[in-house]
Amino acid sequence: MQTQLNNILKQKGFLQLTRENEQSIEKQPPITTTKNTSIQLLDTGVLLVEPSDYNGTDLVISSGVHGNETAPIEIVDKLVEKIINEKLTVSSRVLFIIGNPVAMNQSQRFDVENMNRLFNGKHQDKDHHEAKRAERLEHYVSEFYNTRASSGSVSGTDSVTRLHYDLHTAIRPSKYKKFAIYPFPDGKPWDKSQLEFFLSSDINTILLGHQPAGTFSYFTSHQFNAHGFTVELGKVKPFGENDPQDFTHITRNLERLIEGKPVDTKTFDNQDFNLFQVKHELLKQSESFKLNISQDVENFTSFEQGYQLTDDADGGYQVEATGEAIVFPNENVPVGQRAGLVVVKTRL
Ligand SMILES: [Zn+2]
């Protein structure tokens, strides 16, 4: 059985193996490449890669936390394929994740509950599979960041760089096609070198997080001091309909991180970016809540001062200053939950 699963991984790939085992997989013995890179399935959709010559970077690349966001899953699948086929020389430790295989097999964003609200312990006291899966993913990530490479110490330094890119695609189109969400940094300064990495990855729109959250990327940045980010790479499409050309830059830069090669960056300059901060959270206060925008309005669409953006039992939200924009509008959330964010441009 064990050899079989590793054979499926090698022959059919990480995505297909995950598809065929949506609930779980027992931890498998590692496969070792001719370059002594160890590749080990820890669970379904969770794959640990450890090089023989470790450069001190611990990199988590996650996808499919929302099951229907297929482009990131395909990116992860291709990176794993290149590693298995020894087309990439691995220098970083890498944990690859396909987050929600059950929802993926249903072509759904989620089965019971949005998993990207369930991290950082918010899965506690919940019994459904997304809560259990979030808990397991937290466990694997904790082990990953807390374990030093078995293959030896980092040459010349004790410091380890922890990175986490949680790759997504968005439900609706965006005025800025790709953007990253920088989780609330808990008082730490915003790291401009990370923003330089995004610019080099063809992502120049950044939304700065304003408070703790149940997202996967806030979990890694808060708990492990990782540079963790939610990365939105465009619009949701079914498997097979994504154009790899749309993801050339981010894929190339992830490959460079895996290989330990430098990423071409340019010194941070506000002018190169659209930086947004959150001004207001649109909380759905009652069943009479209504968003006064059309179904297909793009993320980051801005409004004139005085525009009645929402109606609700408490009077709703009226735009206070021209230029306020909306992100992640979604009326169909339970009362008490966030139905969108009002954001404004900022500088660092
Ligand atoms: Zn998503």
Q: Separation of 303 CA from ligand 1 center, angstroms?
A: 25
**Is the per-residue pLDDT at 151 higher than 50?**
no
Residue 226 within a domain: yes
Among the candidates 213, 237, 270, a domain finishes at 270
pLDDT for 156 equals: 45
pLDDT digits (tens, 9 = 90+) for 50-61: 999 999 999 999
Distance CA 234, CA 173 (A): 7
Q: Stretch 14-41: mean pLDDT, rounded? A: 96
User: Tokens 């964003």 appear where?
Assistant: 109
Query: Are residues 250 and 328 located together in one domain of the fold?
Result: no
Indicate the DSSP class of residue 246: G
Q: Given the residues 232, 255, 304, 331, select the one marked as catalytic.
A: 232
* CA separation, residue 147 to residues 142, 150, 151, 179 (Å): 8, 8, 11, 31
Query: Are residues 259 and 291 located together in one domain of the fold?
Result: no
Distance CA 16, CA 340 (A): 35
Q: What percent of the chain has pLDDT over 90?
A: 91
Specify whether the backbone of 315 is left (phi greater than 0), alpha (psi in -120 to 50) or beta.
Answer: left
Distance CA 328, CA 341 (A): 6
Q: Stretch 26-37: mean pLDDT, rounded? A: 94
Query: Are residues 87 and 168 located together in one domain of the fold?
Result: yes
Using only C-alpha atoms, the chain has a radius of gyration, in whole angstroms, of: 20
For residue 152, name the pLDDT band (cuts at 50, 70, 90). very low
Q: Separation of 259 CA from ligand 1 center, angstroms?
A: 27
Residue 152 within a domain: yes
Q: Separation of 172 CA from ligand 1 center, angstroms?
A: 11
The response to whether 287 counts as a known ligand-binding position is no
Query: Are residues 43 and 123 located together in one domain of the fold?
Result: yes
Among the candidates 270, 305, 327, a domain finishes at 270
Question: What domain count does the chain have?
Answer: 2
**What value does the mean pLDDT of the chain take?**
94
Q: Separation of 170 CA from ligand 1 center, angstroms?
A: 6
pLDDT for 52 equals: 93
Query: What's 44's domain CATH number?
Result: 3.40.630.10
Q: Separation of 23 CA from ligand 1 center, angstroms?
A: 20
pLDDT for 158 equals: 60
Residue 232 among the catalytic residues: yes
Query: What's 311's domain CATH number?
Result: 2.40.50.630
Residue 341's domain comprises 280-346
Query: Are residues 310 and 260 located together in one domain of the fold?
Result: no
Query: Are residues 296 and 174 located together in one domain of the fold?
Result: no
**Is the per-residue pLDDT at 2 higher than 80?**
no
Among the candidates 270, 293, 317, a domain finishes at 270
Query: Are residues 203 and 151 located together in one domain of the fold?
Result: yes
pLDDT for 159 equals: 82
Map residue 326 onto helix, strand or coil.
strand
Q: Separation of 168 CA from ligand 1 center, angstroms?
A: 4
The response to whether 66 counts as a known ligand-binding position is yes
Q: Stretch 9-30: mean pLDDT, rounded? A: 96
Q: Stretch 197-208: mean pLDDT, rounded? A: 98
Query: Are residues 29 and 142 located together in one domain of the fold?
Result: yes
Residue 275 within a domain: no
**Is the per-residue pLDDT at 225 higher than 70?**
yes
Q: Separation of 284 CA from ligand 1 center, angstroms?
A: 20
Q: Separation of 209 CA from ligand 1 center, angstroms?
A: 16
Torsion 285-171-218-347 (CA) sign: negative
pLDDT for 295 equals: 86
Q: Taking a C-beta distance cutoff of 8 angstroms, is the pair 263, 329 a contact?
A: no
For residue 172, name the pLDDT band (cuts at 50, 70, 90). confident
The response to whether 138 counts as a known ligand-binding position is no
Distance CA 292, CA 165 (A): 33
Residue 315 within a domain: yes
Q: Any idea which of 198-212, 259-273, 326-340 has the lowest mean pLDDT?
A: 326-340
